[in-house]
Every structure is written in C-alpha cells, then in structure tokens.
Amino acid sequence: MAPKLLVVFGATGNQGGSLINYVLNDPVLSSEYTLRGVTRNTSSAASQSLSSRGVEMVSADPFSPSTLTSALSNAHTVFGMTNTVYDTADFGAREYAQGVAIADACVAAGVSFLIFSTLAHVSEVSHGKYTKVEGFDAKAKVEQYVRSKSIKSAFFAPGGFMTNYTGHMGPRPTGETDEAGNRIYAIASVMKPDSLIPQIDIEHDTGKYVGAILADPEKFEGKTLAASTELCTHAGIAAALAKKTGRKVVYKQVPVEMWKQFLPPVGANMLSEMMLYIDEFGYYGPNTKELMEATAKVTRGKLTTFEEFLDLSDFKLE
C-alpha cells in the first residue's frame, strides 16, 4: 500500500515540529506516511532544515484561505492548529476564523482524517463565569465546528507548556539575596500555590500523543486526548527550578490587578481569567486528573516529567 500524505500545520513550531520529528523517527509511521509541512515562510532556517530531511515544505496561511487549496492537495490526514496571538482586540475571533478555514479546506480537499489541536471551552466549563479566555474558547469552538462536518476527526488538547517556565513565565529577580549573597528569584501568578496545572513538554512529547492517533485513527475517531504528563503546582515548579539552577526560587501569589500590569494589554484579561479558571474548575474541567491518566495509557513512548524537561535544558540563573 502506498504511503498516505500527512500534512502538518505549524511545521516549524513546537507542536508541528514535534509531530514531524516523531513520524520521521518512528519506523512504522515513517513507512505509512509521507510528510508535507505547512509554514508561512519556506525560506526560514527551520523550514530548510525540514526540507533537508525529506519533508515537502509549502507556504500557506489560514488567514488567506485560498492558499490552503494547494497545500492540502492529495492529503490523506491533516494535523491542524492555530496560535493565539495578542495582536488585535479581536484576536479570539481571528483565531476561530483560522481554524474554520483549515477545517473547510480539509473538507473541500477530500481529506480523510483531521487531527486538530484544541483546548477546553472555558466559558462553558465555568458556566459563564469566565468568558474572556478567548484563546481556549476559539479552539474549542473550532473543535465543535469540525465535529459538525462530515470529516473524520480526533483532537489533541495540550496542557501548559513546560517551556513557559524557562521563558516568559520563568523566575525573575526579587531584589533580595540569600545568605551567600546570591539573588533570590520568584515566579508569580494569581493562582494558589497548591493549585494543579497540567504540564507537557510540547517540543518532545506532542508526537507521542498525536502519533498514537496516526497509528490507529479508527480507535481515536471522535476522541480528545488530554495531553499532559503530570499535574504540577507552582510551588513544586519553583522547587524544581531551584534544584536545576542552584538558586533560591520561590512562588508568589499576587493580586489579579497587580499581575495584569506585567501582561500584554490586549491579552491581560484572558491570561488572568485563564489562571483563575484553572484554579477553580481545573484545566480540562472537573475530571482533569482522570482524563490525563486515561490519555497517558495510550501514548506512544515515555512522557517527559518537568524535572526531566529541566535536565534536558540548559536553563540557568545568575
């Protein structure tokens, strides 16, 4: 049987890139699928690197739906995703439009199976209490849209990215020093110290989840994978960062209005409500732990814990 064409959106990013790496390195999936990566810029170093590994790279943009026609030509399976970009006040509506464009293009192209990167519908799970988490809701609405179409589908719902804590949510100097004169660092949020947040090593583990769907699409049709390795607390994350760096790292819960001052103005309400929602209702809703445990049983490969993620990184603090 001839290999099936798998088209991967976000091919040069964390999710798409992880999936492509996984398929290329898996002897079964690499024989069942050929790969086409979708990116906005095929001349980038990341795109050229994938091309050198045998991935067909094409330029397309869901903001320009007409560009999707050729990108999906002859595709059997598609991994689709959207990014939340706080560039304009209507970022949620624009993200939803991107997802709908991908879904419509898949249907028009006769794609057999669509795997879409989704998230919880915060407005619905919270019974209307939190309505500004537009990045989550936009993806959830796209999922609902996909389910209303005739195309076969499954869904990948990643948890919080571990990379957040070595990046924009990472430790910041408090202005204090310990007994040895070293800086003391803090990570801050509006969440309680013992609140549980699902975490995923998005770069290394996305493929282990989505690869399970590719290996047996009929088994996962209509299913959503709660893709997270473990439930972490901010206090636990701070302790792991301290162990990794040899510096004192603490967690500080701060008032909502104070935290908003450190966020991008367009996304401040969304990000603060997102944390409050997780605090109160759970990332995937009331059954977060059970959903994660069920998903972990069907993945292909060992999942990466937060401490293992840090061990693999070169993260340092002065």
DSSP 140-166: HHHHHHHHTSSSEEEEEEE-EEGGGGG
Please identify which residue in the block is written with the tokens 């994978």.
Answer: 225
Per-residue pLDDT for the chain (318 aa), expressed as one digit of tens each? Answer: 789 999 999 999 999 999 999 999 999 999 999 999 999 999 999 999 999 999 999 999 999 999 999 999 999 999 999 988 888 889 999 999 999 999 999 999 999 999 999 999 999 999 999 999 999 999 999 999 999 999 999 999 999 999 999 998 999 999 999 999 999 999 999 999 999 999 999 999 999 999 999 999 999 999 999 999 999 999 999 999 999 999 999 999 999 999 998 888 888 999 999 999 999 999 999 999 999 999 999 999 999 999 999 999 999 998
Q: Retrieve residue 31's tokens.
A: 């024989």
Question: Given this model, what pLDDT does residue 267 score?
Answer: 87
Question: Given this model, what pLDDT does residue 56 score?
Answer: 98
Q: Is residue 315 part of a domain?
A: no
Q: Return the CATH number at 103.
A: 3.40.50.720
Question: Given this model, what pLDDT does residue 2 score?
Answer: 81
Q: Is residue 36 part of a domain?
A: yes
Under DSSP, the state recorded for 182 is: P
Q: Is residue 49 part of a domain?
A: yes
Residue 114's SS3 state is strand
In sequence order, what E strands does 91-216 have? 113-117, 152-158, 160-161, 172-177, 183-189, 197-200
Residue 100's SS3 state is helix
Phi/psi of residue 200, nearest 5 degrees: -135, 140
Q: Is residue 130 part of a domain?
A: yes
Cα 65 to chain centroid distance, Å, stands at 23
Which one, of 68, 73, 12, 77, lies nearest residue 45 by Cα? 12
Q: Is residue 219 part of a domain?
A: yes
Contact by Cβ (8 Å): 106, 78 = yes
Question: Given this model, what pLDDT does residue 88 score?
Answer: 85
Domains of the chain: total: 1
Q: Is residue 263 part of a domain?
A: no
Distance CA 48, CA 42 (A): 7
Question: What amino acid is encoded at 248 in this protein?
Answer: K
Range of the domain at 48: 4-159+201-228+286-302
Q: In what order do the strands lie in the sheet with 248-253?
A: 172-177, 183-189, 248-253
Question: Given this model, what pLDDT does residue 255 score?
Answer: 96
Distance CA 156, CA 15 (A): 10
Residue 126's SS3 state is coil
Distance CA 156, CA 79 (A): 9
Q: Is residue 309 part of a domain?
A: no
Residue 29's SS3 state is helix
Q: How does strand 152-158 pair with strand 33-39?
A: unpaired
Q: Is residue 167 part of a domain?
A: no
Contact by Cβ (8 Å): 29, 211 = yes
